Structure 1
Amino acid sequence: MRNWKFAMASTILGSALLLGACGSTEETATGSETADSASDEAVVEGSVTGDGSSTVAPILEGIVEEYAAVQPEVQVTVGVSGTGGGFEKFIQGETAFSNASRPIKEEEAAALEEAGIEYTEFLLAYDGLSVVVNQENDWVEDLTVEDLKKLWVEDGSTKMWSDINPEWPDEEVVFYAPGTASGTYDYFNEVILEEEDIVESATLSEDDNTLVQGIQGDPNAIGFFGYAYYIANQDTLKVVTIDGVEPTPETIESGDYSPLSRPLFTYANNAKIAEDEAAYDFMQFTLENAGQMAEAVGYVPLAVEDYEQGLADLEALK
């Protein structure tokens, strides 16, 4: 089985993924048993397109690569324009599935209804949105939810570390955050900012690797993104506990890492999935392997029965 946690550190996604199915002969990350059982199935041909969350992308990146070994005649393209950007394409009918790090919004659901697109929500895994600082930062170990709000809400002031604790350096805080099209931004905005404006000085990007690199390069930097991106870069970043709780698979699954634990989704276009053999086959492979891949890249898998329910919901689309 490929070590996806380490593979992510060097290949953790640019602006898009295009892992076509052109001939990987390596044993899949789901093991030879999965590959052997799949080899008995009919060969599927076609192309499948998805888009959406950069947080969900590490799961899909692994799944797409392993699927290429099972169905080499299917080309799967997965963009990472953020949850909101992905839903825009989904509403336009451009994609068969849309990855999301937050539930679909009412206005997005209404737009899909207006467009005549029926969809199904599939839960893939759980994430703990991780607040991180530069490894040279030796003063921040823990922040409260109120500290986070004080830091990140725009109030017209220049934010200094000493504003949170007078014993901390009188240095300006440098902020990195997901872009406004990101579901991670939406989630942080809801549970931390409480719909107030984010600090204007923040560097925003839908590409989590840009955030990682920015924080790595500045001792006064702070940022947040999905847990898998922290795990992939934990040797060069320091995670901050929130109200004394560190994000771990255990605290994320239990809900103790609150309020920054959250579910990760993919949304399927019912008609495309039902009518396109390649789209259906890929979605089935995704649900069958999401738990193992989520754990491999640093997220928290669902209970087995939750994946079984997802597969039952998928089969109902036929």
Structure 2
Amino acid sequence: MKKWKYLTVTAVLGSALLLGACGSDTETEDTTTGNDTVETADSGDAQLTGSISGDGSSTVAPITEGLVEEYGAVQPDVKVSVGVSGTGGGFEKFIAGETDFSNASRPIKDEEKAELEKAGIDYTEFQVAFDGLTVVVNPENDWATELTVDQLKQLWIENGSTKKWSDIDPSWPDEEIVFYSPGTDSGTYDYFDEVILDGSDLVKSATLSEDDNVLVQGVASDKNAIGFFGFAYYLENQDKLTAVSVNGVAPTNETIESGEYTPLSRPLFVYAKNSALKENEAFYDFMKFTLEHAGEMAEAVGYVKLPDEKYDEGLSTLESLK
């Protein structure tokens, strides 16, 4: 699993934890053997045990992985396991009842809603951050650093022929384009399909992978390569990739949050099983921790936080489900 840089959020959350620990000179413990919880007066939080399982989007994964690491400092006896099988793959496990939550880089589809209803699984959607789907080229590519949406369509939609850069612009190199794309289980693929492909087929020559690091390495190693994935993966590898401006707008925190980076700005989600929130105290606590700290973690790993009121709305919704 890829290691992410948590320095900013670790400092923020670590300071909060330290202040909480120092907030009282008196510590009292109330141990309840029936549910193995220990409540401390200085923090006001119960020490919990239990297990939580999630799966889904590789785009949302850096946020969740960071939160899991930080949550372990608060609740060390709660085991949180998170798989990364893509948004579609995560929903399949969620529908099968294998997970408590599902990360998604697109809204849930109508057919997935129907399958969950059929399975008797009630769920709640929580938005956790914004992302800008980022188109990237090799740093040696100095001709295709600014593309229009129409040019992206020309590039990525299958037309039955081998594509060359000169097909897009006669002044560009007469060399074959090498494509790298997230796999079809990825919410990133689904989103690109919706806003760029318009439901048409992706170029058949593209290398598909659910592992964004494979896409990064592919584009970084070939001057004729082009790919796309979440903004955080670009930031983590910006020393070996060039981000493409779309319709004259480069992906940045500011343009993603404002919506100026259109149509490739998008929200990121966590879908939680309602019954698990009610029955598993550790899961409820983890989701509360997630909504309280997702903004800091999103920015720490390269995404864009939501307005504070959106997290407050999520916390109010969560509380109503307890």
TM-score, with length taken from structure 1: 0.91
- Of residues 309, 312, 317, the one that matches 2:313 is 309
SS at match of 1:109: helix
Unaligned runs of 5+ in 1: 1-7, 14-26
Task: Check conservation: 2:4, 2:66, Cα contact below 8 A.
Answer: no
Cα offset, 1:127, TM superposition: 0.5
Cα offset, 1:36, TM superposition: 4.7
Deviations 1:219-258 (A, max 9, x none): 1100000000001111110000001000111111111100
- Of residues 130, 134, 154, the one that matches 2:134 is 130
Q: What are the residue-to-residue correspondences of 1:153-172 with 2, within 5 Å?
A: 153-172=157-176
Unaligned runs of 5+ in 2: 22-42
**Counterpart check, 1:30 vs 2:13:** yes
Partner amino acid for 1:37? G
SS at match of 1:31: helix
- Of residues 201, 205, 211, the one that matches 2:209 is 205
What residue number does 1:5 align with? none
Q: What are the residue-to-residue correspondences of 1:17-166 with 2, within 5 Å?
A: 30-34=13-17, 36-37=19-20, 39-166=43-170
- Of residues 186, 189, 199, the one that matches 1:185 is 189
Taking the aligned partners of 2:316 and 2:122, their CA distance within structure 1 comes to 17
Task: Check conservation: 2:4, 2:301, Cα contact below 8 A.
Answer: no
What residue number does 1:245 align with? 249
Cα offset, 1:200, TM superposition: 0.2
What residue number does 2:29 align with? none
Cα offset, 1:136, TM superposition: 1.3
Partner amino acid for 1:42? A
Cα offset, 1:29, TM superposition: 5.0
Cα offset, 1:40, TM superposition: 4.0
Query: Between Structure 1 and Structure 2, whose CA radius of gyration is higher?
Result: 2
**Counterpart check, 1:224 vs 2:228:** yes
Task: Check conservation: 1:28, 1:35, Cα contact below 8 A.
Answer: no
Taking the aligned partners of 2:57 and 2:12, their CA distance within structure 1 comes to 22
- Of residues 286, 295, 298, the one that matches 1:294 is 298
SS at match of 1:11: coil
The more displaced of 136-145 and 302-311 is 136-145
Taking the aligned partners of 1:206 and 1:112, their CA distance within structure 2 comes to 24
Taking the aligned partners of 1:151 and 1:60, their CA distance within structure 2 comes to 33
Deviations 1:5-39 (A, max 9, x none): xxx9x6259xxxxxxxxxxxxx6651321355384
Task: Check conservation: 1:12, 1:209, Cα contact below 8 A.
Answer: no
The alpha-carbon distance between structure 1 residues 11 and 85, as it changes in their structure 2 partners (threshold 3 A), is same
Task: Check conservation: 1:134, 1:219, Cα contact below 8 A.
Answer: yes
Q: Show structure 1 runs of 4+ deviating over 2 A.
A: 34-40
Taking the aligned partners of 2:280 and 2:155, their CA distance within structure 1 comes to 48
Partner amino acid for 2:230? G
Partner amino acid for 2:270? T
* Percent sequence identity over aligned pairs: 68
Partner amino acid for 2:14? G
Taking the aligned partners of 1:142 and 1:105, their CA distance within structure 2 comes to 32
Deviations 1:158-205 (A, max 9, x none): 010111111111110000000000000000000000000000000001
Taking the aligned partners of 1:197 and 1:223, their CA distance within structure 2 comes to 16
Taking the aligned partners of 1:209 and 1:40, their CA distance within structure 2 comes to 41
Cα offset, 1:268, TM superposition: 0.2
The more displaced of 132-141 and 243-252 is 132-141
SS at match of 2:200: coil
Task: Check conservation: 2:55, 2:93, Cα contact below 8 A.
Answer: yes
Cα offset, 1:41, TM superposition: 1.3
The more displaced of 38-47 and 119-128 is 38-47
Taking the aligned partners of 1:279 and 1:36, their CA distance within structure 2 comes to 24
Taking the aligned partners of 2:261 and 2:293, their CA distance within structure 1 comes to 25
Taking the aligned partners of 2:136 and 2:221, their CA distance within structure 1 comes to 13
**Counterpart check, 1:260 vs 2:264:** yes
